[in-house]
């Protein structure tokens, strides 16, 4: 680790991209047509939630399907909170974006007996087969295809660079983002990247919960950085819990894709009873929030540590062909589906809220754009429809690239003084890890699948008590992540407290019904610590 540096090295670029998942890379490829693009990513280039996506990307690719049906399914899942214009844009742009991914070199799976026809899967909440996939490793195929295309587009990707904070110039016409302060994980050197446009593609924050399907990178850094820079955040109470993570979920949860239920698998309790029909007319293919809550209720009712996913309705040869990755991982854990039932539990999976953006990916801070899981575009409302996330990322990344072309014509090179480098002295690593664990426990207990007023108030108090230990001005990635997780935890709990009803993913025992008065977004404004619903 370098010693105290007063002035970070300054690098200049036209466009700074933070993150190398689907939102970051698909944008960078397009933005490179308009200027010099610099991508910073905090680990290896492929280490992103994107790389772990299994099920696929939803789009209307079958002549028997329709935009209207995909729109209706998305709105239905969103429980009255979707932005209609954003959903319309999402769904109608879908086929073009999928074709573009194919042109970039992403290898999706095609029907064996119908060459040229994409093999489309079905997932919960979808009224048609419309999930474009690459076996059960869709994310890996997308990530690989995009990395290759980015290399062809001469996009410079700097691995192991951790963005600590955005660089905001207050001097001109109000706050403008002019880049970011980052740290090279390998040398500890701090670098200020000056950019005419800064684009956040830092993904979600599943790591704020004790149990999550998300990899270690998902610590909500982008949401925290944008909030500190002055951007409003929205709908952070809507955390999606995936119903079926393989039990036990530690050290890291492995996802059993919803597509397994799409192919016929059934959830059963310890006595072997298929229980989903008690909860929803679509039974095992009900929307994800319903299924996760049903499993949670069954586990509470019976005291069981998990429920069972019975894959036996799926023929063994089909299972092996359709889910090779899931089969391999299960076998490595001594389970052999479809013959063996799989022990499963819900785990935190996806953040529907985020940095509030408009249809052009603009945030509340000038020259700062955002897309992907870090953003709240309004397409998911109170609950995301399965496989709409990869779609949202690629659709709004393309919009952001169009916005960037316009901004680059208008925005001069940044002139603000570079940010001060941060002291290299950092808190003890063991203390940082303890704090990380404490935050994750508080969120899991107080702001999990089912909430209530008392639990949320207790979570708020616990986070306030932990705040004394939160690193100030962190310069190491680990300390910065924990500070970001703490801020995310506070924002999620504050948002959940504001919503005194149950809707979509936010279910409160204290307010078990939807209330039309709350059919609006929950916005938290950073400046005056203001919070309100609009
Ligand atoms: P990510 O892919 O998470 O990329 C974020 C990037 O930002 C990473 O490169 C990360 O290293 C970088 N980064 C973060 N913070 C910093 C920082 N401070 N400095 C520098 N770099 C930083 N969605 C679907 O639609 N279909 C699916 O089938 C599906 N399956 C899923 C399965 C799993 C197991 C998981 C976890 C998610 C799944 N999702 C699925 C959700 C979907 O994968 C994500 O929402 C989507 O990939 C997010 O893409 P992104 O580009 O916004 O973020
Ligand atoms: C899955 O494969 O079940 C995940 C799909 C998603 O998160 O949309």
What distances in angstroms separate CA 394 from CA 65, 111, 140, 144, 290, one per listed residue? Answer: 21, 24, 15, 15, 27
Rounded to the nearest angstrom, the distance between the alpha carbon of 117 and the centre of ligand 1 is 27
What do you get for the CA distance between the two ends of the chain, in Å? 45
Domains assigned to the chain: 9-238+352-410 (3.50.50.60), 242-348 (3.90.700.10), 429-520 (1.20.58.100)
**Furthest CA-CA distance within the chain:** 68
For the record, the structure tokens of 194 come out as 């000056």
Q: Can you give the pLDDT at residue 125?
A: 86
3-state secondary structure 43-105: CCCCCCHHHHCCCCEECCCCCCCCHHHHHHHHHHHCCCCCCHHHHHHHHHHHHHHHHHHHHHC
Instruction: Tell me which long-range contacts 442-448 makes (C-beta under 8 A, separation of at least 24).
Output: 442/466, 442/489, 443/208, 443/209, 443/210, 443/489, 443/492, 443/493, 444/209, 444/210, 444/211, 444/348, 446/493, 447/237, 447/239, 447/489, 447/492, 447/493, 447/496, 448/209, 448/241
Q: Can you give the pLDDT at residue 533?
A: 58
Rounded to the nearest angstrom, the distance between the alpha carbon of 196 and the centre of ligand 2 is 35
Question: What gap in Å lies between CA 178 and CA 14, rounded to an integer?
Answer: 10
Q: Are 176 and 319 a contacting pair, CB within 8 Å?
A: no
Question: What gap in Å lies between CA 253 and CA 348, rounded to an integer?
Answer: 10
Q: Can you give the pLDDT at residue 251?
A: 75
Choose which residue among 29, 47, 50, 225 to substitute to test ligand 1 binding: the one with the highest number of ligand atoms within 8 A of its C-beta.
50
Rounded to the nearest angstrom, the distance between the alpha carbon of 519 and the centre of ligand 2 is 26
What are 301-334's pLDDT values in tens digits?
999 999 999 999 999 999 999 999 999 999 999 9
Q: Can you give the pLDDT at residue 172?
A: 58
Rounded to the nearest angstrom, the distance between the alpha carbon of 457 and the centre of ligand 1 is 30
- H helices within 315-360, ranges in order? 316-322, 324-332
Question: What gap in Å lies between CA 408 and CA 80, rounded to an integer?
Answer: 37
Nearest CA to ligand 1 atom 35: 53
450 Cβ partners below 8 Å, 6+ apart? 293, 296, 507, 508, 509
Atom of ligand 1 lying closest to residue 58 CA: 25
For the record, the structure tokens of 152 come out as 């062809």
CA atoms within 13 A on the CB side of 228: 20
Q: Can you give the pLDDT at residue 252?
A: 76
Nearest CA to ligand 1 atom 43: 50
Q: Which ligand is nearest to the CA of 393?
A: 1
Rounded to the nearest angstrom, the distance between the alpha carbon of 71 and the centre of ligand 2 is 18
> Could you say which DSSP state residue 12 is in?
E
Q: Can you give the pLDDT at residue 1?
A: 35
Q: Can you give the pLDDT at residue 2?
A: 40
Question: What gap in Å lies between CA 132 and CA 123, rounded to an integer?
Answer: 11
- Pocket residues: Cβ below 6 A from ligand 1: 18-24, 40-43, 47-50, 52-57, 138-139, 162-163, 201-204, 213-214, 217-218, 221-222, 255, 350, 372-374, 387-390, 393
- Pocket residues: Cβ below 6 A from ligand 2: 54-55, 257-259, 386-387, 389
3-state secondary structure 222-256: HHHHHHHHCCCEECCCCEEEEEEEECCCCCCCCEC
Nearest CA to ligand 1 atom 38: 53
CA atoms within 13 A on the CB side of 111: 11
Catalytically active residues are: 288
Q: Which ligand is nearest to the CA of 53?
A: 1
Q: Can you give the pLDDT at residue 528?
A: 56
Rounded to the nearest angstrom, the distance between the alpha carbon of 53 and the centre of ligand 2 is 7
Question: What gap in Å lies between CA 243 and CA 267, rounded to an integer?
Answer: 10
Q: Which ligand is nearest to the CA of 193?
A: 1
Stretches in the chain below the pLDDT threshold 70 = 1-6, 172-173, 528-534
């Amino acid at each position: 680790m370098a010693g105290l540096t007063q002035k970070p090295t300054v690098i200049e670029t036209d466009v700074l991209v933070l993150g190398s998942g689907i939102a970051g890379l698909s944008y960078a490829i397009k933005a490179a047509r308009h200027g010099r693009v610099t991508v910073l990513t905090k680990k290896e280039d492929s280490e992103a939630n994107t790389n772990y996506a299994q099920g696929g990307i939803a789009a209307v690719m079958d002549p028997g399907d329709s935009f209207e049906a995909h729109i209706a399914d998305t709105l239905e899942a969103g429980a009255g909170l979707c932005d209609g214009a954003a959903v319309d844009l999402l769904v109608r742009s879908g086929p073009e974006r999928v074709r573009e991914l194919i042109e970039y070199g992403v290898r999706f799976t095609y029907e064996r007996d119908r060459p040229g026809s994409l093999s489309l899967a079905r997932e919960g909440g979808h009224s048609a087969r419309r999930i474009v996939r690459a076996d059960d490793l869709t994310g890996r195929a997308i990530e690989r295809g995009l990395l290759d295309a980015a290399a062809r587009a001469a996009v410079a990707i700097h691995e192991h660079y951790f963005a600590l904070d955005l660089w905001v110039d207050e001097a001109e016409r109000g706050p403008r983002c002019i880049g970011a302060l980052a740290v090279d994980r390998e040398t500890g050197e701090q670098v200020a990247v000056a950019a005419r446009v800064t684009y956040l593609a830092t993904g979600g924050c599943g790591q704020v919960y004790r149990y999550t399907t998300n990899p270690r990178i998902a610590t909500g850094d982008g949401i925290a950085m944008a909030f500190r820079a002055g951007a409003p955040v929205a709908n952070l109470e809507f955390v999606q819990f995936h119903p079926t993570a393989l039990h036990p979920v530690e050290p890291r949860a492995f996802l059993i894709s919803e597509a397994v239920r799409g192919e016929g698998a059934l959830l059963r309790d310890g006595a072997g009873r298929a229980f989903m029909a008690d909860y929803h007319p679509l039974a095992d293919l009900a929307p994800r929030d319903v299924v996760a809550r049903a499993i949670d209720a069954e586990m509470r009712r019976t005291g069981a540590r998990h429920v069972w996913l019975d894959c036996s309705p799926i023929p063994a040869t089909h299972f092996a062909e359709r889910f090779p990755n899931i089969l391999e991982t299960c076998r490595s854990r001594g389970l052999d589906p479809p013959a063996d039932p799989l022990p499963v539990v819900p785990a935190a999976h996806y953040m529907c809220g985020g940095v509030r953006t408009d249809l052009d990916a603009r945030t509340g801070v000038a020259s700062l754009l955002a897309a992907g899981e870090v953003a709240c575009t309004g397409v998911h409302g109170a609950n995301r429809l399965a496989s709409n996330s990869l779609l949202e990322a690629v659709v709004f990344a393309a919009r952001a690239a169009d916005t960037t072309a316009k901004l680059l014509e208008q925005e001069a090179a940044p002139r603000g003084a570079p940010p001060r480098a941060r002291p290299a002295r950092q808190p003890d690593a063991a203390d940082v890890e303890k704090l990380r664990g404490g935050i994750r426990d508080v969120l899991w207990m107080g702001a999990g699948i089912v909430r209530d007023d008392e639990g949320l108030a207790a979570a708020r108090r616990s986070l306030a008590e932990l705040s004394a230990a939160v690193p100030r001005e962190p310069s190491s990635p680990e300390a910065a992540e924990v500070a970001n997780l703490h801020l995310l935890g506070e924002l999620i709990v504050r948002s959940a407290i504001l919503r005194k009803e149950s809707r979509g993913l936010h279910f409160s025992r204290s307010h078990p019904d939807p209330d039309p008065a709350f059919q609006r977004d929950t916005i938290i404004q950073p400046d005056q610590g203001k919070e309100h619903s609009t």
